[in-house]
Amino acid sequence: GAGVSQSPRYKVTKRGQDVALRCDPISGHVSLYWYRQALGQGPEFLTYFNYEAQQDKSGLPNDRFSAERPEGSISTLTIQRTEQRDSAMYRCASSLGTDLGYTFGSGTRLTVV
Amino acid sequence: GESVGLHLPTLSVQEGDNSIINCAYSNSASDYFIWYKQESGKGPQFIIDIRSNMDKRQGQRVTVLLNKTVKHLSLQIAATQPGDSAVYFCAETPSGNTPLVFGKGTRLSVIA
């Protein structure tokens, strides 16, 4: 597509439920990144992929968070047993390579109640 | 839309004046630097980048300056316009498979 597409745009879930956030990167972009952004802060790295391989997941807060990109295109970030502290804007970005500027999507606003 | 940067440093500039936004980075191994613009309700948007073998790079109305000695990056916007109002983030990474690390951001407010 023309840009990075994320869905849903907004997600409200009850504490303890699992959620799956989707990212559809720009066609042909090798690298895909997940960031989390709190109000008043810059994006905070979570994990990234080159093609289908997860290169770095050091930013995932704990083992309730996981991500996959099985065919090297669309990626899903899954949060299990959500907690209120998981509430944030989750942003996906893609790039042609790891050493090039990223294009960000509009994000998914997750609210855990 | 959502509000970005509720408690960020704010730079207020008169329309038509030049703006300078500064960023201090911490990793002396950083090799690649980018400035992003983020408007309310939107994702960060790439503005300009620079690599460590350069100390200045110009784009359309924007210039990025890099001082590796003091680990300082600045973004200059010429003839600032109301549409430049946004939060600006610097981001850095060492070369290779290391993701971008973002700074805290500065809110630019343009006074018409």
What does each of the 113 residues of chain A score in pLDDT, given as a tens digit?
579 999 999 999 999 999 999 999 999 999 999 999 988 889 999 999 999 999 999 999 999 999 999 999 999 999 999 999 999 999 999 999 877 789 999 999 999 99
DSSP state of A80: S
Is B79 in a helix, a strand, or coil? coil
d(CA B22, CA B105): 9
Q: Out of A40, A55, A107, whose CB is closest to B43?
A: A107
Give B92: exposed, middle or buried? Use CB within 10 Å, 0-12, 13-18, 19+: buried
Identify the closest residue of chain A to B30 by CA–CA distance: A99
Q: Which of A33, A39, A44 sits opposite B3 (nearest CB)?
A: A39
- Chain A residues within an 8 Å CB radius of B8: 40
In Å, how far is B2's CA from the nearest CA of chain A?
A: 9
Q: Are strands A53-56 and A44-50 parallel, antiparallel or unpaired?
A: antiparallel
Task: Give the count of alpha carbons within 13 A of B50, CB side only.
Answer: 21
Inter-chain touch B44–A109, beta carbons under 8 Å: no
Distance, in Å, from the CA atom of B69 to the CA atom of A83, rounded to the nearest integer, reads 43
Question: For a pLDDT cut of 70, what percent of chain B falls above it?
Answer: 93
Q: Among residues A60, A71, A59, which one has the least CA distance to residue A27?
A: A71
Give per-residue pLDDT as tens, A12-41: 999 999 999 999 999 999 999 999 998 888
Partner residue facing A42 (CB), from B43, B96, B104: B104
When pLDDT is cut at 50, 70 and 90, the band that residue B97 belongs to is: confident
